[in-house]
Amino acid sequence: MQTAEALPAAPSVSPSAPPNEEWSEIIEPRTRLLDLGLRDVWRYRDLVLLFVRRDFVSTYKQTVLGPIWFFIQPLLTTITYMVVFGGIANLSTDGLPQLPFYLAGVTIWNYFAQTLTTVSTVFTANAAIFGKVYFPRLTMPLSIVVSNLIRFGIQFALFLAVWAYYLATDNRLHPNLFILLTPVLLVLMGLLGLGLGMFFSAMTTKYRDLAMLLTFGVQLLMYATPVIYPLSQLPLKYKVFVLANPLSSVVETFRYAFLGSGTFSWLALGYSAAFTLAALLVGTVVFNKVEKSFTDTV
C-alpha cells in the first residue's frame, strides 16, 4: 500500500522573532502622558507644511480679495476702536497717536486669539482625517501655530509700516531696545495659545458646550487685557486683576518696546512665562490622554 508522503511541517515562528520586512511605521500605545513624540513630529514635518498650506487655501480660496484680508481685518478693527473707544468713550492712549496704539494691541492679540480658537477645535474639526489614517496628532495643532505665525508676520508688516510713518512724522514715539524681546513675546503667545487650545480641544470632544463658551470667553478676555486701554490708566483695585492675566504683560511689553509708552516689568514677564509653561504642561497631559480614544466620543 502506497502511503502519502508526509508534507513538511510549517516552520515555527517565535512571536519574538523579528519579521523579515522592514516596517516604516510602528504604532504602539504611549505609556507616558508627557511624551510629546517630537521625534515623530519631526519625521512628519512635511505634513505640517501641508496642513499650513491647507489652512491658507481653505480660508481664502473662494474670496475676492484673498490674502488682502490679512491687512483689512486689523485695519477695520483698529479704526473701529479709534471711533468707539478713542472718540466716543474718549479713553486715554497715554499721549500716543491712536492708530499705532490700537494697532499694536490688535496685532499681538490677534495671534493669540486665532491660535487658541483654532487649536481648540482641532479634534472636532478634523475627526474625519484622524479616523482614517495615522499621523502624530500633535502635527495638527503645531501647524495651526505656524500658519497663524505667518498671518501675524503679514499683519506685523502692516504695523511696522504704520509705526515707521509715525516715527518719521510724530515725536511722541520712543522705541527702545526691548524691541529685541519681540521673538520671546511671540513664543509666549504661541505656546500659551497652544497649551490652552489643546486643553479645550480635548475637553470639547466630550463637552461641546465648551466650544461656545470659549468663543465668548476669548472676547471677554480681550477686555481684561490692555489692548484698548493702557495699563497705567487703570485704578489700582482693577490693575491687580488685569495683571493676573498672563497676556497683559506681553501686550504691554510689546507696546512699550515699539511705542515707548506703557509699563514693563521683568517680574510680570516671568509670571507670564511660568503661566505659559504650566498651561502647556496641563494641555499636553490632557491632549495625550484624550487622543487615544477621542474617535469614540466625537
Q: What is the pLDDT of residues 232-251, one digit of tens each?
A: 888 888 888 999 999 999 99
d(CA 67, CA 76): 15
Instruction: Give the residue from 45, 44, 209 showing the smallest Cα distance to 124.
Output: 209
21 located within any domain: no
184 located within any domain: yes
| Whole-number percent of the chain with pLDDT over 70 | 80
29 located within any domain: no
pLDDT at residue number 50: 84
129 located within any domain: yes
283 located within any domain: yes
Structural domain harbouring 182: 66-296
d(CA 225, CA 241): 10
Q: Which of 51-60, 62-71, 88-97 has the highest mean pLDDT?
A: 88-97
**How many structural domains does the chain have?**
1
Q: Is the pLDDT of residue 254 over 80?
A: yes
pTM value? 0.81
183 located within any domain: yes
pLDDT at residue number 66: 63
171 located within any domain: yes
| Mean pLDDT, residues 12-29 taken together | 54
Q: What is the pLDDT of residues 90-118, one digit of tens each?
A: 888 988 999 999 999 999 999 999 999 98
Q: What separation in angstroms does the CA of 44 have from each of 36, 38, 249, 283, 295?
A: 13, 10, 35, 21, 21
3-state secondary structure of 188: helix
4 located within any domain: no
CB 286 within 8 A of CB 275: no
